[in-house]
A and B are shown apart, each in its own frame.
Chain A
Amino acid sequence: MSDITSQSLFELTSNIKEKKLSSEEITKAFINRAEKSKKLNVYVTDNFEKAIDQSRKFDSNPNLDLKLPGIPIAVKDLFCTNGVRTTAGSKILNNFVPTYESTVTQNLWCQGAILLGKLNCDEFAMGSSNETSFFGYVQNPVGENLVPGGSSGGSSAAVAANLTPVTIGTDTGGSIRQPASFTGTVGLKPTYGSCSRYGIVAFASSLDQAGPMTKNVRDCSMLLEVISSFDQKDSTSIDYKRNHYSKELSKDIKGKKIGIPKEYRVDNMPDEIEQLWKNGISYAKDCGAEIIDISLPHTNYALPTYYIVAPAEASSNLARYDGVKYGFRSPGQNLIEMYEKTRSEGFGDEVKRRIMIGTYVLSSGYYDAYYLKAQKVRQLIKKDFDDAFSKVDAILTPSTPSSAFKIGEKTNDPVSMYLNDIFTVPINLAGLPGISIPAGKDKNNYPLGLQVIGKPFDEQNILNISYALEDKINFKNDISDWWLSE
């Protein structure tokens, strides 16, 4: 049997069900590794003591019919967890302990999973490198001083470094897929409305979705099956029949029509990304898929549209952090002064930047030119995909325009940071499901991902295509454990 922490979710669940491993053994293995991995800074808050108690409790009366029997899982610190501090990577929630549980994490616990701890992320999920977190940057296990992507950077690093078997992140403009791409892991953003937003600290409500981040596609299907559910507590949750994604997982994609959008061939795209994409296309052909050239004409407008819609919603969503009810407060002589001090000291620069952009685009006199226009363009982008999906079953693109970059490299250049999301934001704007799978490496041996985009609620199809491609690509991350301390 291979080392416990390097096992996939599928292997771990099998071993528990076959009683080859106990929940306690598994939980302790991940905790031991975490203790030696502090250098990566993936944890904001750990739940190790309680996790061991819970694993023992599970072992004393194991319910092996559950989908995540006694499996320890760490989650992004954007999910509210009952009794466990939830910070959203921000000083303003530094001391916040929810008395309630997000629906998505509740779904995990209902299937037998155990909370290992809360994973670092960009502040309020605003960032593409995990550098905006109040709790410091996260190291990418792929290489020292390399960002793990963002905003779910603690999550991607934790999966890649074998610190959690799987995790869940959130994706507003690429926050699951881009870090997955940067760390050689799998990340799926479900269709908007698949996973409940109840209890997830909101960034941009019309774009936010929770999703699985895993070592491989099969684990991804297993986890999606658990977290995707209709929830009456979220008015944007959609009631539809969800698949048994893992049961129906299949490599047979013969005859599937896969679209290749010409607009994703952006200027200055590195040759190795171009090559990665070509390889992906040829693997898809090898699997019997039909490749069709398509056009998504409004792609160029997606990024500016996103950077109007998301900050607009964020500026309003973050108004509740005012020092009055919970979280950080900096006292003032009067209400206005207290607001100003609390929010000035409590939020970091990137969050303030987006609040200011959002406030600006919603202001009277600018609303029509920015917010309203962005909403119209968003409809056009959606329509591009609708048109494309009348001809194809899925769309294949690179996940990101580059591989992971160095810590600090882009912190002073927000626009180049924003450009990281160029291939992922259109999918959020259209509300579609998208998955990033590791597909190769660049000249520095850093992972690169391919993105498969599906029709609404067609997660099964993009999982199957990814499953088939994964088999052909046969990606190996070979991470050296360089960070481990004794």
Chain B
Amino acid sequence: MSKKSEYLIDRENKQYEVIIGLEVHAQVTSESKLFSQSSTKFGAEPNTQVSLVDAAFPGMLPVINEFCIEQAIKTGIGLKAKINKKSVFDRKNYFYADLPQGYQISQYKYPIVGEGKVILDMPNGQKEIGIERLHLEQDAGKSIHDIDPNNTLVDLNRSGVALMEIVSKPDLRSPDEVNVYIKKLRSIMRYLGTCDGNMQEGSLRADVNVSVRLKGETEFGTRCEIKNVNSIKFMQMAIISEANRQIDLLEDGKEINQETRLFDTKRNETRSMRSKEDAHDYRYFPDPDLLPLKISQELIEKIKSVIPELPDEKKKRFIDKFNLSPYEATILVSDIETSNFFEEVIKNSDVKLATNWITGELFSVLNEKNLEISQSPVSAKNLSKLINLIKDGTISGKIAKTVFEQMIDGDQDPLIIVKEKGLKQESDPKAIEELINKVIENNSDKVAEYKSGKDKLFGFFVGQAMKESKGKGNPQLINKILKEKLNG
């Protein structure tokens, strides 16, 4: 059992614990928006994906996109959460240029999904993070301040796109846990196909709640909310900076004001956006244009029946069935594309070798080239062929690495490479014996040394024999025959 690695911030004999809760905004994967039929495709020309409903023209009414409801239910099931049979869409009222209705349709008192949980695989064991709720809401448009020097421009393409707000309990205790939590959440949603988790395109953003307290204290401190942080790295930086700011205040005998803050990525510090006193009064009330959302047990069951195997279950299966270590399994299931690739490879090849090759050679190539596994230069089919060549002794592990180098260039078939380059392993005992005889003849002085007790020289003979075989000699055979010859 490894030692417990708590994240604590030290100040003169005192240790502070950091309490973190996240409100993750995940864009629902859906062709059309939450209450209109406009496309949600990212990157279109400004204001080309805007319906009369999205732009809030007079007399326009929202109509629920049932697919988005199903996506939220699916995500709720993935978070092992309670699906609420009745939920209500409320209006959150505030004025902003990129909020055409003057209110955002959201869910306030009665969200579609209730309490659930997410399991984190931390280096020192598993940790459960509670989910408070998941609710559906509309995204706002975008205000663009840096194109026209005198005016703010508004792009409503994003206006009305469905978001799931996933609120965690204040169960997170370190930047590392936040990293693992976001990745796990993202992984679950990508397995489910409910959110693509693309942080560059803003499909996943978070408001980060941070408070601090002395280690051992049981009451929570006053929290601050850092709005709209759009990468894991920034979340971690913001947490560290905000926690230290709060601790400095406490150390100076000052109080922490509950407030909303913004993270300045350039200066690596948070700054006040508005205090609790200035907090918006959103005047939430049930949207009279929409009836309460009722979800039948049948629908929940129907969705449950099509839920794919999720990372936790898949990990357990990989460990039980393939005898993988928890570490290997965690890596392989972390992303659905990776696990699919792995399962594709092992359909026709050895599990152990496949695990090593994917987490070793393949990952290092992907890292180096900054590619996703879905863009892997080597296909699962060819990788499994390569593994079979190793397994059946056609090539050695070392030769395999050379072959792999070449496979990267255009996903070449390893069988063809081996054949064309004559890399097939020499496994004929007679041929091996011949070349060993040659090595022994050429190195009679070393043989004598070995025989007089210099055991370490065995490696030298193996090397020589391998060299003689131009690297193609079967290492097991070389070892075996060398031993017989030298010790005999």
The contact string, 1 if C-beta is below 8 Å from chain B, for chain A 325-344, is 11000000001000100000
A364 touching B100, Cβ below 8 Å: no
**Smallest Cβ distance from A122 to chain B, in angstroms?**
16
Q: How far is the CA of A364 from the CA of B276 in the complex (A)?
A: 13
B58 touching A80, Cβ below 8 Å: yes
B59 touching A236, Cβ below 8 Å: no
Residue of chain B at shortest CB distance from A234? B61
If the complex has contacts A197-B61, A199-B59, A362-B283, are A235 and B290 also in contact, measured as CB distance less than 8 A?
yes
Query: Does B149 have its Cβ within 8 Å of any Cβ on chain A?
Result: no
Q: How far is the CA of A359 from the CA of B282 in the complex (A)?
A: 10
If the complex has contacts A206-B288, A232-B63, A371-B285, are A325 and B56 also in contact, measured as CB distance less than 8 A?
yes
Contact residues in B for A282 (Cβ distance below 8 Å):
none
**Smallest Cβ distance from A95 to chain B, in angstroms?**
13
**Consensus secondary structure, chain A interface:** loop
A339 touching B95, Cβ below 8 Å: yes
**Smallest Cβ distance from B471 to chain A, in angstroms?**
71
Residue of chain B at shortest CB distance from A198? B61
B281 touching A363, Cβ below 8 Å: yes
Q: List 8 A-B contacts (CB under 8 A).
A: A79-B59, A98-B57, A98-B59, A197-B61, A235-B63, A236-B289, A319-B103, A324-B154
Q: Which of A89-119 contact B (CB under 8 A)?
A: 93, 96, 98-100, 102
B58 touching A201, Cβ below 8 Å: yes
If the complex has contacts A102-B59, A202-B58, are A362 and B93 also in contact, measured as CB distance less than 8 A?
yes
Query: Does B168 have its Cβ within 8 Å of any Cβ on chain A?
Result: no
Query: Does A485 have its Cβ within 8 Å of any Cβ on chain B?
Result: no
Q: Which of A232-251 contact B (CB under 8 A)?
A: 232-236
Query: Does A258 have its Cβ within 8 Å of any Cβ on chain B?
Result: no
A235 touching B64, Cβ below 8 Å: yes
Query: Does B52 have its Cβ within 8 Å of any Cβ on chain A?
Result: yes
Q: How far is the CA of A199 from the CA of B57 in the complex (A)?
A: 9
B63 touching A316, Cβ below 8 Å: no
Given contacts A88-B58, A102-B59, 11 further A-B contacts (CB under 8 A): A80-B59, A197-B59, A202-B58, A234-B61, A234-B63, A235-B289, A312-B285, A313-B288, A319-B95, A320-B58, A335-B97
**Smallest Cβ distance from A418 to chain B, in angstroms?**
21
Q: Sorted from nearest, which 3 A-B pairs have the closest CB atoms?
A: A319-B102, A205-B288, A362-B283
Query: Does A427 have its Cβ within 8 Å of any Cβ on chain B?
Result: no
Query: Does B291 have its Cβ within 8 Å of any Cβ on chain A?
Result: yes
Q: How far is the CA of A163 from the CA of B390 in the complex (A)?
A: 94
Query: Does A219 have its Cβ within 8 Å of any Cβ on chain B?
Result: no
Contact residues in A for B61 (Cβ distance below 8 Å):
197-198, 233-235
Contact of B102 among A79, A235, A316 (CB under 8 A): A316
Q: How far is the CA of A346 from the CA of B59 in the complex (A)?
A: 18
**Smallest Cβ distance from B14 to chain A, in angstroms?**
38
B100 touching A325, Cβ below 8 Å: yes
If the complex has contacts A200-B59, A235-B64, are A205 and B289 also in contact, measured as CB distance less than 8 A?
yes
Q: How far is the CA of A235 from the CA of B53 in the complex (A)?
A: 13
Query: Does A9 have its Cβ within 8 Å of any Cβ on chain B?
Result: no
B58 touching A319, Cβ below 8 Å: no
A364 touching B281, Cβ below 8 Å: yes
Q: Which of A181-238 contact B (CB under 8 A)?
A: 197-202, 204-206, 232-236
Contact residues in B for A313 (Cβ distance below 8 Å):
288
Contact residues in A for B170 (Cβ distance below 8 Å):
none
Contact residues in A for B56 (Cβ distance below 8 Å):
320, 325
Residue of chain A at shortest CB distance from B63? A235
B59 touching A316, Cβ below 8 Å: no
Q: Which of B79-109 contact A (CB under 8 A)?
A: 91, 93, 95-97, 100-103
Q: How far is the CA of A235 from the CA of B290 in the complex (A)?
A: 6
If the complex has contacts A206-B288, A367-B285, are A93 and B58 also in contact, measured as CB distance less than 8 A?
yes
Q: Which residues of A contact B (CB under 8 A)?
A: 79-80, 86, 88, 93, 96, 98-100, 102, 197-202, 204-206, 232-236, 312-313, 315-316, 318-320, 322, 324-326, 335, 339, 359, 362-364, 367, 371
Contact of B59 among A201, A232, A312 (CB under 8 A): A201
Contact residues in B for A100 (Cβ distance below 8 Å):
52, 57
B58 touching A316, Cβ below 8 Å: no
**Smallest Cβ distance from B304 to chain A, in angstroms?**
26
Contact residues in A for B52 (Cβ distance below 8 Å):
99-100
Q: How far is the CA of A316 from the CA of B60 in the complex (A)?
A: 14
If the complex has contacts A233-B63, A316-B102, are A86 and B58 also in contact, measured as CB distance less than 8 A?
yes
A204 touching B283, Cβ below 8 Å: no
B283 touching A322, Cβ below 8 Å: no
Q: How far is the CA of A315 from the CA of B284 in the complex (A)?
A: 12
Q: How far is the CA of A205 from the CA of B286 in the complex (A)?
A: 11
Q: How far is the CA of A236 from the CA of B63 in the complex (A)?
A: 10
Q: Which of B280-303 contact A (CB under 8 A)?
A: 281, 283-285, 288-291
Query: Does B62 have its Cβ within 8 Å of any Cβ on chain A?
Result: yes
Contact residues in A for B59 (Cβ distance below 8 Å):
79-80, 98, 102, 197-202
Contact residues in A for B60 (Cβ distance below 8 Å):
198-199
A316 touching B285, Cβ below 8 Å: yes
Residue of chain B at shortest CB distance from A197? B61
Contact residues in B for A202 (Cβ distance below 8 Å):
58-59, 289
If the complex has contacts A235-B289, A236-B291, A363-B283, are A322 and B102 also in contact, measured as CB distance less than 8 A?
yes
Query: Does B265 have its Cβ within 8 Å of any Cβ on chain A?
Result: no
If the complex has contacts A201-B59, A205-B289, are A316 and B100 also in contact, measured as CB distance less than 8 A?
no
Query: Does B417 have its Cβ within 8 Å of any Cβ on chain A?
Result: no
Q: How far is the CA of A87 from the CA of B102 in the complex (A)?
A: 19
Query: Does B152 have its Cβ within 8 Å of any Cβ on chain A?
Result: yes
A362 touching B285, Cβ below 8 Å: yes
Residue of chain B at shortest CB distance from A92? B58
B52, B61, B154 pick with most chain A CB within 10 angstroms = B61
Query: Does B399 have its Cβ within 8 Å of any Cβ on chain A?
Result: no
Contact residues in A for B57 (Cβ distance below 8 Å):
80, 98, 100, 325-326
Contact residues in A for B291 (Cβ distance below 8 Å):
235-236
Query: Does B366 have its Cβ within 8 Å of any Cβ on chain A?
Result: no
Contact of B101 among A236, A320, A326, A359 (CB under 8 A): A320
Contact residues in B for A318 (Cβ distance below 8 Å):
102
**Smallest Cβ distance from B32 to chain A, in angstroms?**
15
Contact residues in A for B100 (Cβ distance below 8 Å):
320, 324-325
Contact of A322 among B63, B95, B290 (CB under 8 A): B95
Query: Does B55 have its Cβ within 8 Å of any Cβ on chain A?
Result: yes
Residue of chain A at shortest CB distance from B289? A205
**Smallest Cβ distance from B332 to chain A, in angstroms?**
45
Contact residues in A for B283 (Cβ distance below 8 Å):
315-316, 359, 362-364, 367
B59, B97, B281, B291 pick with most chain A CB within 10 angstroms = B59
Contact of B62 among A99, A235, A322, A363 (CB under 8 A): A235
Q: Which of B336-374 contact A (CB under 8 A)?
A: none
Residue of chain B at shortest CB distance from A193? B291
Q: How far is the CA of A233 from the CA of B59 in the complex (A)?
A: 11
**Smallest Cβ distance from B264 to chain A, in angstroms?**
22
Q: How far is the CA of A198 from the CA of B152 in the complex (A)?
A: 31
Contact residues in B for A312 (Cβ distance below 8 Å):
285
**Smallest Cβ distance from A103 to chain B, in angstroms?**
10
Q: How far is the CA of A339 from the CA of B97 in the complex (A)?
A: 9
Q: How far is the CA of A98 from the CA of B57 in the complex (A)?
A: 8
**Smallest Cβ distance from A322 to chain B, in angstroms?**
6
Residue of chain B at shortest CB distance from A102? B59
Q: How far is the CA of A254 from the CA of B196 in the complex (A)?
A: 66
Q: How far is the CA of A204 from the CA of B288 in the complex (A)?
A: 8
**Smallest Cβ distance from B262 to chain A, in angstroms?**
18
**Smallest Cβ distance from B397 to chain A, in angstroms?**
64
Q: How far is the CA of A367 from the CA of B61 in the complex (A)?
A: 25
